[in-house]
Amino acid sequence: MWHNVRILNAISNTCMAIFILAVVTGAIGWLIQKPVYALQTIRVQSAGGETLRHVNALTVRNIALPNIRGNFFTVDLDEVRGAFEAVPWVRKASVRREWPDKLVVSLEEYQPLGVWGSEGRLLSTKGDLFTVNMAEAEEDYDLLQFSGPEGSEKEVLAHYMEFCQRFAAIDLSPKEVRLSDRYAWSVRLDNGMRVEFGREEGQDTMDVLMDRLLHVYPQLADMTDDHIENIDMRYPNGLALKVRNALPASNTQRSSVAL
C-alpha cells in the first residue's frame, strides 16, 4: 500500500482537509468569543405595533435579562424567548438576531377580559388563563366574571361571545358567565338579572333556550314594573320568574310562566 502513489495522495489530502477544517473551526470559535460580538442592545417591541401597556424596562431588567447568556452567535434564542415569556403580562415572545450585536424581541401582551373563579386568575380575550397583579388589572380594565371546571376556559369564552351576540337583541350584555361543575350554564346581565339555562342536553339546546327567552322577554318586561331578578329556563315548556319590587328591596316573589 505504501508504494501506491494514488492511495498515499488520498491519505495526504484527507489529512490536510482534516487539519484545515480543525484550523478553521478553531478560528471561528476564537472569533465568535471576541468581545466585539457581545450583545450590546436588546430592543423590545410590541408584536402588533401598538404600545406595550404593562411590560416596562424595570420588569425586563429584573426578570428577563439575568437569564440571557452568550453573545450574538452563541445566545440560545429559545432560551431568550422563554425568559421573556416569564415576564408578567407577556403571552408570547419571538426573538431574532440583528447584525452585529442586537437582539430584537417582539412581545404580545395578554388582553384580560375578566376574572376567572376565586383564585385570582384572569381570562384573556383568547381564552388563556394567566396571573398578574390584580390591582393593576382592575385599574386598567372593566373586568367581567367567569368560572368553570378546569380546562373549560375556551368553552366558556365561546359561550360568552354567543351570549353577547344573542342578548344584544334586547339591549343587554353579559357581565358574568358561569359553568358549574355539573356543566350547567348561568349568565348575569348588565341590568342585574340572572338567567339559569341548566345543562346542554344536545348541540341545539342553548339556541332553543335563547330563542324562547328572547321571544318572551319583552312581554315579561311589559307585564311587571318590578325588577326581574332571576329567570330559570330549566323547564321543558316554560320558565320560572323571580322579581323584586322596586320599593321594599327585600320583597321578592317567584312565579312560573308556561310557554
pLDDT digits 0-9 by tens, 170-185: 999 999 999 999 999 9
pLDDT over threshold 50, residue 60? yes
pLDDT tier at 223 (50, 70, 90 boundaries)?
A: confident
Average pLDDT, the chain: 84
C-alpha cell at 48: 402588533
Compare 65 and 202 and report the one with higher pLDDT: 65
> Residue written as cell 382592575?
138
pLDDT over threshold 60, residue 43? yes
Q: Across residues 98-104, what is the average pLDDT?
A: 91
pLDDT at residue 257, as a whole number: 53
C-alpha cell at 38: 457581545
Q: Between β-strands 41-46 and 102-109, what pairing exists: parallel, antiparallel or unpaired?
A: parallel
Total residues found in the chain within this entry: 259
φ, ψ of residue 97 in degrees (nearest 5)? -85, 150
pLDDT tier at 50 (50, 70, 90 boundaries)?
A: confident
Domains along the chain with CATH numbers: 36-109 (3.10.20.310), 111-144 (no CATH), 148-258 (3.40.50.11690)
> Which residue from 182, 173, 172, 171 is spatially nearest to 147, judged by alpha carbons?
182
pLDDT at residue 30, as a whole number: 42
Backbone torsion region of residue 111, taken as left when φ is above 0, otherwise alpha when ψ lies between -120 and 50, otherwise beta: beta
pLDDT at residue 249, as a whole number: 46
For residue 201, the tally of other CB atoms under 10 A from its CB is 9
pLDDT digits 0-9 by tens, 224-256: 656 889 999 999 888 998 887 654 444 455 555
pLDDT tier at 194 (50, 70, 90 boundaries)?
A: very high
pLDDT at residue 27, as a whole number: 40
8 Å CB contact between 42 and 105: yes
pLDDT at residue 202, as a whole number: 80
Helix (H) or strand (E) holding 188: strand 184-189
C-alpha cell at 165: 351576540
pLDDT over threshold 60, residue 166? yes
C-alpha cell at 159: 359561550
Cβ neighbours for 109, distance < 8 A, ≥ 6 positions apart: 46, 52, 53, 54, 55, 89, 90, 91
